[in-house]
Each structure stands twice: as C-alpha cells, then as structure tokens.
Amino acid sequence: MVLFFKKELLSVTRRIGLRDVARMAGVSTATVSRTVNRPEAVSPELRARITSIIGELGWVPDAAARALVTRRSGTIGAVFPTLTHGDFARATGALQDELARRGYTLLLACSNYDSRLEYEQVGKFVERGVDGLILVGEAHHPDMAEFLARRAVPYVNTFVYSPLSHGTCVGPDNRRALYRLTNYLIDLGHRRFGIIAQSTRGNDRAAARLQGIRDALSERDLAVPRQHFAEGQWSIAEGRGLYRQLLAARPAPTAVICGNAYLAVGALLESQHAGQAVPGDVSIVGYDDIEIMREMPVPMTTVRVASDEVGRRAARHLLARLDGETASDAYECDAEIIVRNSSGPPRLA
Amino acid sequence: MVLFFKKELLSVTRRIGLRDVARMAGVSTATVSRTVNRPEAVSPELRARITSIIGELGWVPDAAARALVTRRSGTIGAVFPTLTHGDFARATGALQDELARRGYTLLLACSNYDSRLEYEQVGKFVERGVDGLILVGEAHHPDMAEFLARRAVPYVNTFVYSPLSHGTCVGPDNRRALYRLTNYLIDLGHRRFGIIAQSTRGNDRAAARLQGIRDALSERDLAVPRQHFAEGQWSIAEGRGLYRQLLAARPAPTAVICGNAYLAVGALLESQHAGQAVPGDVSIVGYDDIEIMREMPVPMTTVRVASDEVGRRAARHLLARLDGETASDAYECDAEIIVRNSSGPPRLA
DNA sequence: TTGTAAGCGTTATCAT
DNA sequence: ATGATAACGCTTACAA
C-alpha cells in the first residue's frame, strides 16, 4: 500500500522528458531530438506524429541538459554601469529585443561604474556559461582581456568607438563628438568656456568626451580655467549646484558644456533661475538627448546618440560571431549634434 | 604523428573539470564537490589543498551540469512592460542587486505592455529553467496562472497590491493612492477636475489608478466630463498636447490629475506656456516621482512609489519561497503623496 | 570524513 | 530515415 502510494506520487511528480515522448511515439530518443532540432531530417509523417505528442504531453526540452551536451547556453550576458540612465535603458531594451528575436536570452547585471565589480559579474556570467558578453566602455579590469580570451568568450565593448581599439566595439566616437560640439561653439564666437563634466572615475567614455573638448580648445589656444571646471555625476540637482559655482567665478563663461543630459538640464534651470538669457548671456549644451531637453522652455542643444542602435548592433555582431561569421571589428554609431535654442553666438562684450 | 598532434590539440583544448581537480588533489570527485558546496563537511587541511588547486587550475563549476542534477538553475526571470521608464529601471537595478547578493542571476525581458508577448516570454524563461519569476501587474494572459502552477514556478506580481489578490504581490495600492490624491485635491476645494490618464491597455495599474480617482470623485458626487478626460502613454509631448485639449474645453478644470510623471511634466510645461499661474489658475499633479518634477520652476505634487523597494522586496520574497520559507502573500509598498507647489486651493470663482 | 557510482535529460556519433 | 548508446560535468545517496 505504501509502495503503491509512493509509486503514484512519483508518477504524478515525475517531470516528463524526451524519453516519455519517444516511448509514447514508439521511436527512439534520437528521433524525437531530431524532430525538434533538425525537422527536415525526419520523415513528414513521423514528424507530425511526434510533434503532436509533444504538444499533448506539453513537453519542453530541458535547457540545462541541452546546454550540457551542446556547450551552448543560448544566453548573452550584459553588464551595464547603471540602468537608471536613459541611454543604457534604451540600449538594454533594443539588445533584449534583438536577442529574443534570435532565440537568445539576456542576462543582466549592473557594475555601478566599478570595474572590479564588473569583472566579478563577468566571472559569474562566464560560470553561467554565457555564449557572449556585452560590456560598456573599453577600460576594464586589467585581467579581463586575458580571462575572456582563455575562456574563449566573445564580447563587444559598447558606447565606445576607437578605430585602433583592441577588442570589438560598437558605439559613438565620444572624443570626436565633443570635439565637434566644442568647435561648433568656438565657431559661434565663444572664447570663455565652462565645463560641467561627468565624473571620469571608471568611465572612459566621459574621459574621452572631456578629451575631445580639451583638444578642440587647445587647437585654438583656448583653455578652461580651474574655476570654470566642475565635475558631477548625473543628477539635475548637481547640475544646478555646479552651474551656480561656475557662475560665481567672474568673468562667467559664455558657453558651458555639460557631460550629460541631467547635468545640462540642471545647468539650464539654474541659469534661468539666475535670470540669465539663454543663449544671449550664456550657451548651455549637453550630451545625450532625453525628451525633456527638447521640451524645456529653451530647448537644448545636445548630442544625440543612437543608443538603441548600439544595443541592436552589439547583439547582431555577437550573434554573427557565434554563427562563425567574421564580422567587422569596430562599428561607429551616430552621435549627431542637435542644435536647438540653448546655444548661439555670445553677446558682444 | 598525426595522432600525436591530435592528442596534443585535445589536451590543449579540453576544458578542465571537476575530475581534473580531483585527480590533481588525489581525492574523489565527491570530495571536490563537497569543498565547493558544503565546505564544513570536508576536513580543513584537505579543503585548503583542494581550494588552492581549484584556484591554480582556474576551475569554475559548470552551471549547466549543476543545474541538470540539482534541478535548480540559480536564475530568476523578470518580464517588465518597458525598461525606458524610471520606475521599472530602478526596480530592475534593485532586483538585480538583491539577486546577485544571493548568488542568483537575473534574466530580463520586455513585454511592451502586451500580455500575449509577456506570456511567451514567460514560456521561454520557464524553458530556460528559471527558479522563479517577477512579473508586473496582475492581469496576465488567461493561461498564465495555470501554466505556472503546473510547472510549479513561483512568481510575484509587482507594482500592484490588492489584499484579495490570488497570487503574491509586492507594490503600492494603486487605486488607494489615487483615491487619496484626489481627495486631497477635493479637500483643497477643487470641483472641476481634468484627467490626463495613462492608457489602460494592458495596464491594470493604470486602470486601478483611474478607478481610484473616479471612486473619490463619485463619493463627493463629482465626475469628469468627457471633454476633460484624455488618455496618453508616457511622453512629455503627449502631456502637452492633451493638456492643451483640456484647456480648450470651457470652463477649464481647476485641477488636472496626470497618469504618470511624463504626462504631468508635459501638462505643467504647457500650462506655463499658456501663461497660467500654477497653482493659482490650475493645480497639476502626477504619479511617480522623477527628479525633474522637483526641479521644475514650479515643483510638482506627485505620488512617490518606492520602486527600488518593490524590486528588492520581490526578490527577497521569491528567494525566501525558494528556500522553503512561507512568506506572506502580499506586501504593500509605500505610495506617498509628495505635496509641492503645483497644487493648491482653486482661486475663488 | 572520504570514496563509489548512479544518475540528471539531452545531443551526437555511429551503425543499420 | 531511424535506432543504440556513449558522453556532457556535476551532485548525492550510500557504503566504507
């Protein structure tokens, strides 16, 4: 009686598997596996019968077992510095979409701009058997490159583009984007620049952008005095505070370049608050284009990065590599300067 | 010669595994497994030796093999309607953080507010062997509940809280939050209300919020005339456009309740643009608290949801259930009314 | 405390 | 076109 009960329990409890389908269809497990993975290799009638039995039983192949034998997990890991940020969130969406379309699943982690944490998370992902990785930037933990090479895990660095980069990269050329933006302002006649930079700690993109500004300025024999330089993260409140600082240092800059959209919005709000005319008294520009920038009372000039294209491209590249195709090593994404009303010629002194 | 070459190749190529560690340490595979999974069950000296060999060889356990035998993947799947939204992005961050802390990995997908797509993505996740699921809302595909019950996959509905809900839920009580917000406005003296609602298509939270407004109004024998009701998604531009519509319908409402932060910001911007005094001419309130709302020239009254708490709680609940603990079935998160300057008593008629 | 050995549910290599 | 069967790399009774 007890035995009977246990048996019943077992039969209720036991997960149905490939063998159950095979038994029910009166074929070998190999044939069932084939109808799922290479249907064309199975005779139409048999295929039909097996397919219907699969449906009846509601069987779904066990991913772990499959991964164990194929050495492919069908997953891609992505480590972003943060998710609460417009561009990364958009990229994540596009990435996931593109991966799902091809039957891959996205594993996600956040590094908080900490390369050590990034390295650890990559480690976890590799343990999990990801088939590829999406990273941000190209300044990783010193051991990263070797680690991934040894494990033969393909990866792509996103949101960066440098033609002579070692690994694969998909993104805008950060340096050049700000080099151009700065030149645009110089050409408008600006000479006194202020910078509210995004912190370059663990952020090579921000560093590259800063370099772009400096390169453009020094080419024209310009520079940003210490009191016109400030560094923040990415909040509007910070933007306000830092802008107030810049404003206090006389003579005030006629053009302020902000490291990201939030800092820029904060700067503009504070400038308005201080009663400045924009762009008459000061031009304020940012990087990255979030909706509020074009809806502000003074719509803002900024650089628009095709973040979703970054995500989509990165996914495509990785999948192509997994399919054995040799894909190009670096892909540059648009970083378009969107000129709106927050920038204009400086008022004549 | 050829054979030799192949052999060499193989030995270079072969991934090192548990058995290699065991062989090198001169112990059984079981012991190695134990030192990794239950170190306390292995004698200290042996443990030390094995641990160091593991490090030397750089061995990491294969997740697929482990999952195959333990029937646990160590992964949790989350399906969000969108990621480009402040609250979901924040929740995702907190979720991932909490999961990582406990050794779990997050699988992420986006449903685009489409319950059919959500159902499919859940299906994929279950195939992948996720140990649990995080969903948003409680209005899922009709087959969802049964599907998950049959597969015995635990899940939690987030961003909703209804005491009599069937499944587990973690979130704010959407209806009550807007019921309270509306009453706050009524108590200020408002009688002519306008609504810029978030579309309720595939969004039971938005529907609940709308219900909350209606309940509060009808209790006081108030209602919103058709021309003072508009529906949008979540862009500032839409908020502007819809607000303009409401404004055109005379007499204009003295209080406008917006379905989300973006619509609210748009409404306020447009109202300013139209030269209205806020809150003198009109009170404008929103739902969800994004930074720009408190930085606007007129800081906005809104409802702040503890999104990261939602993510964290949901993770904890799921992990607790996986550990066999019986966790409470519904957890209500804060939905605090943040009163700022965009709301006040209506001007006397 | 440690070892032996039987799986976990697939895929893939052979034959047939 | 289909079938037998040996892996895949690990965990876990059970035995010692």
Distance D5 C1' – A30 CA (angstroms): 10
Tokens of A137: 């930037």
Q: What gap in Å lies between CA B269 and CA A274, rounded to an integer?
A: 19
Which of B86, B124, B291 has the CB atom closest to A105's CB atom?
B124
Collect all residues of chain A within an 8 Å Cβ-Cβ radius of residue B100. Answer: 109, 121, 124
Beta strands in chain A (DSSP E): 75-80, 105-110, 132-136, 155-158, 168-171, 193-198, 229-232, 255-258, 283-285, 302-305, 330-332, 335-338
pLDDT of residue A5: 35
Higher pLDDT, B10 or A252: A252
B62 touches strand D (CB under 7 A): yes
Closest residue to C13 measured CA to C1′: A30
Same domain, B168 and B229: no
Same domain, B84 and B161: yes
Close Cβ partners of B28 (under 8 Å, ≥ 6 residues apart): B22
Burial of B241 (0-12, 13-18, 19+ CB in 10 A): middle
Q: What gap in Å lies between CA A333 and CA A277, rounded to an integer?
A: 34
Instruction: Point out the domain boundary residue: A68, A84, A116.
Output: A68
Distance C8 C1' – B63 CA (angstroms): 13
Instruction: Point out the domain boundary residue: A50, A68, A86.
Output: A68
* B346 assigned to some structural domain: no
* A213 assigned to some structural domain: yes
Range of the domain at B274: 174-305
Tens of pLDDT, residue by residue, chain B (349 residues):
233 333 333 344 568 899 999 999 999 999 999 999 999 999 999 999 999 999 999 899 999 999 999 999 999 999 999 988 878 999 999 999 999 999 999 999 999 999 999 999 999 999 999 999 999 999 999 999 999 998 889 999 999 998 776 779 999 999 999 999 999 999 999 999 999 999 999 999 999 999 999 999 999 999 999 999 999 999 999 999 999 999 998 899 999 999 999 999 999 999 999 999 999 999 999 999 999 999 999 999 999 999 999 999 999 999 999 988 887 789 999 899 999 999 999 987 5
* A342 assigned to some structural domain: no
pLDDT of residue A282: 97
- Give, as one character, the DSSP assignment of residue A108: E
Give the Cβ contact number of residue B73 at 10 Å: 25
Distance D12 C1' – B30 CA (angstroms): 8
Give the whole-number percent of chain A exceeding pLDDT 90. Answer: 85
Same domain, A129 and A277: no
A34 touches strand D (CB under 7 A): yes
Element (H, E) at A124: helix A115-127
| pLDDT band at residue A328 using 50, 70 and 90 as cut-offs | confident
Instruction: Point out the domain boundary residue: B17, B49, B68.
Output: B68
- Planar angle of CA A331, A333, A335, nearest 5 degrees: 150
Region of residue B287 (phi > 0: left; psi between -120 and 50: alpha; otherwise: beta) = beta
Same domain, A257 and A286: yes
* A348 assigned to some structural domain: no
Beta strands in B248-308 (DSSP E): 255-258, 283-285, 302-305
Three-class SS of A214-275: HHHHHHCCCCCCHHHEEEECCCHHHHHHHHHHHHHCCCCCCEEEECCHHHHHHHHHHHHHCC
Which of B64, B262, B292 has the CB atom closest to A73's CB atom?
B64
Task: Kindly report, residue by residue over A96-122, the tens digit of the pLDDT.
Answer: 999 999 999 999 999 999 999 999 999
At residue B321, φ and ψ (nearest 5 deg) are: -60, -40
- A295 and B265: CB-CB below 8 Å? yes
For position A195, which CATH number holds?
A: 3.40.50.2300
Same domain, A8 and A46: yes
Distance D14 C1' – B126 CA (angstroms): 33
Collect all residues of chain B within an 8 Å Cβ-Cβ radius of residue A265. Answer: 292, 295
At residue B248, φ and ψ (nearest 5 deg) are: -70, -25
Give nucleotides in strand C with any atom < 7 A to a protein C-beta.
1-13
* A349 assigned to some structural domain: no
Same domain, B178 and B285: yes
Collect all residues of chain A within an 8 Å Cβ-Cβ radius of residue B67. Answer: 64, 67
Q: What gap in Å lies between CA B36 and CA B42, rounded to an integer?
A: 10
Same domain, B166 and B311: yes
Quick check: B111 and B204 in contact, CB under 8 A? no
Task: Kindly report, residue by residue over B68-99, the tens digit of the pLDDT.
Answer: 999 999 999 999 999 888 789 999 999 999 99
Tokens of A260: 């990201």
**Total domain count for chain B?**
3
User: Looking at residues A305-330, what average pLDDT do you find?
Assistant: 90
Same domain, A105 and A184: no
Q: Which amino acid is at B33?
A: S
A41 touches strand D (CB under 7 A): yes
Mean pLDDT of chain B: 92
* B342 assigned to some structural domain: no
Same domain, A311 and A301: no
* B347 assigned to some structural domain: no
A9 has pLDDT over 50: no
A177 has pLDDT over 90: yes
- A269 and B109: CB-CB below 8 Å? no
Per-residue buried b or exposed e for A305-334, using 16+ beta carbons within 10 Å of the residue's own CB: bbbbbbbbbbbbbbbebbeeeebeebbbbe
Give nucleotides in strand D with any atom < 7 A to a protein C-beta.
1-13
Q: Distance, in angstroms, between B278 CA and closest chain A CA?
A: 16
Same domain, B286 and B187: yes
Same domain, A7 and A45: yes
Q: Which amino acid is at A306?
A: A
Task: Kindly report, residue by residue over A221-230, the tens digit of the pLDDT.
Answer: 999 999 999 9
Collect all residues of chain A within an 8 Å Cβ-Cβ radius of residue B58. Answer: 150
pLDDT of residue B306: 93
Same domain, A228 and A197: yes
* B95 assigned to some structural domain: yes
Q: Which residue of B has its CA nearest to A104?
A: B124
Please report, for residues A278, A297, B82, the alpha-carbon distance to residue A340 in angstroms, rounded to integers and kept in the order given.
Answer: 11, 11, 29
- A150 and B58: CB-CB below 8 Å? yes
Tokens of B96: 């991932």
Quick check: A338 and A121 in contact, CB under 8 A? no
Close Cβ partners of A10 (under 8 Å, ≥ 6 residues apart): none
For position A55, which CATH number holds?
A: 1.10.260.40
pLDDT of residue B13: 53
